[in-house]
Amino acid sequence: MVVIIDYQAGNLTSVERALEALGVQATVTAEPEVVAQASRVVFPGVGAAGKAMQTLRERRLDQALLRVFENAVPILGICLGAQIILDQSDENDALCLGLLPGRTRALPRQTGVKIPHMGWNQVRFIREHPVFNGLPELAEYYFVHSYYPDPARPAMVLGVTEHGISFPSVVAWKNLVATQFHPEKSGRVGLKILANFLAWDGSYAQ
């Protein structure tokens, strides 16, 4: 069972439709008991870190995510779901899930650089991973964000993107992968990532 976690953080329908395009009927749920039964978990989201963490804790979804991570269930974090997997966020100074060590940081404001970073941009992959196999080298992906994940261990960074600075846009550790961009809104290349995730067994040797 593929589960999409509902914690009132938006963009669930677009993720659900992208999976349907791949022939997968996902279960959208806010119930931790359902998350615990998942064979794969998609953890999307847009919005503020503080509010998102409040909702996750109220619904006991924070503990459900920790359990599926510890049980080696493949997890895909998207956008906000790539940020609050770390220990803490600059946004609201929020304490986050701590699945990966590190901090989510604000994109620095610079002359001529628009914040939020919105639109299409490239990812330079610096490490290989089964979920990102077979992607065109110069492909572009859809971004909407003002913060980015900054894992404590450089080996957790798979890809980087340029927007004023070079920031981590793809991170991974064990059975978890996460993208700052939205694969569900990134056309064919995004569907390729989702298809790879659905075929991935959760193993990753770093």
137-192 residue pLDDT tens: 899 999 999 999 999 999 999 999 999 999 999 999 999 999 999 999 999 999 99
Residue 204 lies in a domain: no
Instruction: Look over the chain and give the mean of its residue pLDDT values, rounded to a whole number.
Output: 96
Residues in CB range of 58: below 8 A, 6 or more apart: none
Question: Shortest CA distance to 71 belongs to which of 97, 43, 40?
Answer: 40
Q: Amino acid letter at 160? A: V
Residues in CB range of 197: below 8 A, 6 or more apart: 40, 42, 74, 76, 131, 177
- What's the pLDDT at 112? 87
Residue 13 lies in a domain: yes
Structural domain boundaries enclosing 109 = 2-199
pLDDT > 90? residue 108: yes
What is the number of structural domains in the chain?
A: 1
Question: Shortest CA distance to 70 belongs to which of 102, 41, 94?
Answer: 41
Residue 205 lies in a domain: no
Residue 49 lies in a domain: yes
Which CATH number goes with the domain that contains 75?
3.40.50.880
Q: Give catalytic residues, as residue numbers.
A: 79, 182, 184
Residue 206 lies in a domain: no
Residue 10 lies in a domain: yes
Mean pLDDT of 76-92: 97
- What's the pLDDT at 47? 87
- What's the pLDDT at 205? 73
Model pTM score:
0.96
